[in-house]
Amino acid sequence: MSFRLSYRADPGNPWFSWQYVRDNSDTILAAVREHASLTGRAVLIAVLIALPLSVLAYWVRPLAGPILAVSGVVYTIPSLALFAFIAPYLGTGATTVLVGLVLYALLLIVRNVVAGLNQVPPEVREAAEGMGYGRWRRLFRIDLPLALPGIVTGVRLATVSTVALVTVGVLVGHGGLGQLIFAGFQNNLYKAEIMTAALLCVALAVVLDLLLILVARLVTPWSTRRAR
Amino acid sequence: MTVAENPIGQAITWINDPLNWTNPGGMLDRLGEHLTISALAVALGCLVAWPLGLWLGHLGRGGGLVVLISNATLAIPTLALLTILPVVFASGFGKTPVVVALAVFAVPPLLANAYTGVRQVDPEARDAARGMGLSGGQLLRRVELPLAVPYLAAGFRTAAVQVIATAALASFVNGGGLGQIIRTGFGIGIAAGGGQIVAGGVLVAGLALLAEVVLGGVERLVTPKPLRRGRQRLGRPRAADATGSA
């Protein structure tokens, strides 16, 4: 990626300049695209791994403790260190960033889904068993739908923190908007570049969060009905 | 894409070289920087967040504000704040902007726990203190504050671990710290610097886990026995937790 330095014409180094946005729209769009695609892929993969893992922790009680404990320890490892562990094996590609992001998102989702599943009232579970529901049918018809609020909370938290975390990918050259922030820092603190990228980062987090709230409304129509 | 031969073996070799410990910019230097930056940031965060959180909790107002601050900081990329603050301070690259940026991320857990700590005080204890003629300030100092100590400790642990983790990113803005070892390793290239990269990662992760364990012990020590079991860690909102990874 190349960054054209349009600020030389403007000695003021303002906090925000449309001139910069216009002149660098291609670079900015490419960064947003990389950022959004890394976030989307990471959260999607994390959900696909987290759901079976959570169900396992829910069904096999003795596994719940270890699963959550290991997640806690991995979660305490700083992102920079995690990328440092992965990079020597996977190289400096986008894969390294993706694996790190998935690991962090995984923990947030598992924690919340397990909490959501454990909140299913025992009476409901017993009633389902009394009605002759088997283990799998109960999971899909009773447990998971009732745990949806927890699942949604986990996915939302994972998405928002992943958006912020992608920027650390600068370490291996795939940081999405983080690339712009870092480039701006190196271009003698080019404020417009730093600010534009930072604002887009926050905006991306907000937009994705709102989208997820909307999806949550659609898949859990009963929650809004009850609220009214 | 270059992949190192055996990064773990290289890392052990790197750590075993005494010069890598004592050189200028070696492990001991970087560890000192890391701890200094983190300690200053946590202290600054406590100075701001604790009085505010205790006061808001005492008034029973501002719960919405606490949640808002937690959520807002969750969405702000650490890197953005680290690069923007040196501009704001106009002091260039000194330690101050890094410390302030890290303190911003320490505030949400400290604030939320201070607030919850005061709010969870049994209303009857509060009424009894009022009935004994304690003024608002006395009530806060002699009843609410002691009862909130376990929560303050929980917040302190979360904030400190988070700051120690985030301080590794200070290396991006040449702020020093253990992250610098990892960055230097990447500077050399993965083939040659793979060992140094992994060694830096071990140091950063080890320090964060050590802080978690030690401060967890401190938290247990200051929590009165009857409160240790069954107390939900209400004051540790997921939102504040999540920022720890950035």
Is the model's pLDDT at B242 over the cut of 50? no
CB distance A78–B4 less than 8 Å?
no
Instruction: Report yes or no: B194 at the A interface, CB cutoff 8 Å.
Output: yes
Q: How far apart are CA A42 and CA A108, in angstroms?
A: 12
Instruction: Identify the burial level of A210 via C-beta atoms within 10 angstroms of its C-beta, where 0-12 means exposed, 13-18 middle and 19 or more buried.
Output: exposed
Instruction: Report yes or no: A84 at the B interface, CB cutoff 8 Å.
Output: yes
Q: Is A99:B15 a contact under the CB 8 Å cutoff?
A: no
Average pLDDT over residues B139-161: 91
pTM > 0.90: yes or no = no
Distance from CA of A96 to the nearest CA of B (A): 11
Residue B86: pLDDT band with limits 50, 70, 90? confident
Q: How far apart are CA B135 and CA B126, in angstroms?
A: 11
DSSP secondary structure letter of residue B60: T
Q: Number of Cβ pairs closer than 8 Å across A and B?
A: 161
Residue B44: pLDDT band with limits 50, 70, 90? very high
pLDDT score of B90: 60
Which residues, including other chains, have CB under 8 Å from residue B24's CB and lie 6 or more apart? none
Is the model's pLDDT at A46 over the cut of 80? yes
Q: How far apart are CA B246 and CA B242, in angstroms?
A: 8
Instruction: Report yes or no: A172 at the B interface, CB cutoff 8 Å.
Output: yes
Higher pLDDT among residues B65 and B92, named by residue: B65
How much of chain B, in percent, has pLDDT values that exceed 90? 31
A86-95, A129-138, A159-168, B102-111, range with the lowest pLDDT: A86-95
Nearest Cα residue in chain A from B10 = A88
Is the model's pLDDT at B233 over the cut of 50? no
Average pLDDT over residues B95-122: 90
Is the model's pLDDT at B241 over the cut of 60? no
Considering the four listed CATH numbers 3.40.640.10, 1.20.140.10, 1.10.530.10, 1.10.3720.10, the one that applies to the domain covering B7-243 is: 1.10.3720.10
Residue A40: pLDDT band with limits 50, 70, 90? very high
Average pLDDT over residues A68-96: 85
Whole-angstrom CA distances from B115 to B48, B59, B67 are 13, 10, 11
pLDDT score of A11: 57
Q: How far apart are CA B10 and CA B33, in angstroms?
A: 25
Q: Is the ipTM of this complex over 0.90?
A: no
pLDDT score of A10: 47
Is the model's pLDDT at A9 over the cut of 50? no
Residues in B closer than 8 angstroms to A104, CB to CB, are: 245
Higher pLDDT among residues B29 and A56, named by residue: A56
Domains of chain A with bracketed CATH: 13-220 (1.10.3720.10)
User: Which residue in the set B83, B166, B204 is minimally distant from A185, CB to CB?
Assistant: B83
Largest CA distance in chain B: 73
pLDDT score of A39: 94
Q: Is B1:A91 a contact under the CB 8 Å cutoff?
A: yes
